[in-house]
Structure formats: C-alpha cells, structure tokens
Amino acid sequence: MSQLIAIFFGGGMGSIARYSLGEMMQRFFPESPKSVILGTLLANVLACLVLGYLLGKEIQPKNIFFWSVGFCGGFSTFSAFSNEMLQLIKSGQYVLVVVYFAFSIGLGLSALVYGSKLS
C-alpha cells in the first residue's frame, strides 16, 4: 500500500511540474504554436535525465516508486508526444515530424545515459 501512496504523490507532483513547464514555454514563446512541442520535448528529456540518474544510483526501493514510476511517469508524456505527432502529420508538416521524432528519441536516450553517468 505504501508503494501506491508513493506513486500517487510522485505522479501528482510530476503532473504539476509538467503543467508548469508547459505554461512556462507558452510564456517564453507566446506567438509560436511550437511552444507546445518544445514543452513536451523538454519534459520528456528531463524525465529521462532524472530516470537515468535514479537508475544509476543505489536508492531505497520506496524512493524508486515515488521518483521513477510516480514523478517521472507524471512528468513525461508519451500521449501528448503521440498526439502532437499526429497533428503534425495531419497538417502535412512531415519534415517537422521527422525532426521532432528524431530529437525526442535521440535526446531522450542521450539524457538517460548521461543521467546514469551523473550518479
């Protein structure tokens, strides 16, 4: 039961952080429709960095549930990434689809590796 509580609170904090990051991107790039994409990309890359760091550290299992499953799960957003990709495809922005996909996967994996080396 304590694992579920840790996931619940970690996920809530991650979701709030994700929302706040999206709002910040909207303020930095108010006229750009790409601010949504930047927010999602940044959230996913940062979540990979944190997850990589956690996986490289020897931390207590109860903290793993809070940070990796909860916080990183709530902070990162594959569903938003997928929806944004679909919208770009529907609008015929195929070059941006390829760039967004490549950056998301490439930067995400790089952040995961870099995070594990930081620990």
Could you give phi then psi for residue 34, rounded to 5 degrees? -80, -5
pLDDT at res. 61: 76
Residue 57 gets the label, from left (phi > 0), alpha (psi -120 to 50) or beta, of beta
For the whole prediction, is pTM greater than 0.75? yes
81: Cα within 13 Å, side-chain hemisphere: 20
pLDDT at res. 82: 96
pLDDT at res. 19: 95
d(CA 82, CA 104): 11
**Taking a C-beta distance cutoff of 8 angstroms, is the pair 38, 29 a contact?**
yes
> What is the DSSP track for 34-50?
THHHHHHHHHHHHHHHH
With a cut of 70, which residues of the chain have pLDDT below it? none
- The pair of structure tokens assigned to 9 is 């609170």
pLDDT at res. 42: 96
- State pLDDT tens for residues 14-44: 999 999 999 999 998 888 878 889 999 999 9
Closest-CA residue to 101 (of 82, 80, 76): 82
**Taking a C-beta distance cutoff of 8 angstroms, is the pair 81, 40 a contact?**
yes
